[in-house]
Amino acid sequence: MNDTIAEGWTEQARPPALFRRFAFERYAQTRAFLERVAAVQDELGLAPQNISFGTTYVNVTIAASGEGGLGEAERELARRIAAAADACA
Amino acid sequence: MNDTIAEGWTEQARPPALFRRFAFERYAQTRAFLERVAAVQDELGLAPQNISFGTTYVNVTIAASGEGGLGEAERELARRIAAAADACA
């Protein structure tokens, strides 16, 4: 069994959430990433609980969407967001 | 003399910053607002220090861009952002 629900993300227990900070060199990359994250949200029908950003960083918090805690839906959202960051780096 | 640098915003002294929370009924409004804020940033050449958002809220922090503290540039950014929120409500 793999205890890591989403590689590269920090898992918080109470309340269940995934957190990750993405850093970029330029604001254009940050904005491109935010646009990709919005597209991912639309596609999956699931949004991060909070996105906090400045010109060259984006902090993403994904909370559990159901009572069962973090599951496959959150893991997929995290994976897709990380892929979006790779595409903008 | 008017001590209010930006009506509707909370002014913080150390470090100098303006803060305001914008709430929306729907995610579509939130996203439209974020897009307008990005356009305002581009136009003014000045960005909020931090924008933190969920599906129906956006918290905006504007820090002083120069050593002189909050000035006309920050006031204009705050005013334009507030106008963008009104346009999306």
Write the class of the CATH domain B15-88: alpha beta
ipTM: 0.92
A19 part of contact set with chain B, CB < 8 Å: no
Q: Output the pLDDT for position A20.
A: 97
DSSP 8-state class, residue B66: S
The answer to whether A54 contacts B54, with C-beta atoms less than 8 Å apart, is: no
Residue boundaries of the structural domains of chain A: 11-88
Strand pairing class (B17-23; B50-54): unpaired
* pTM for this model (two decimals): 0.93
Structure tokens at A74: 């959150």
Per-residue confidence at A2, pLDDT binned at 50, 70, 90?
A: very low
Q: Which residues of A touch B53 (CB under 8 A)?
A: 50-52
- The CATH number of A11-88 is 3.30.1360.20
Closest-CA distance of chain A to residue B47, Å:
7
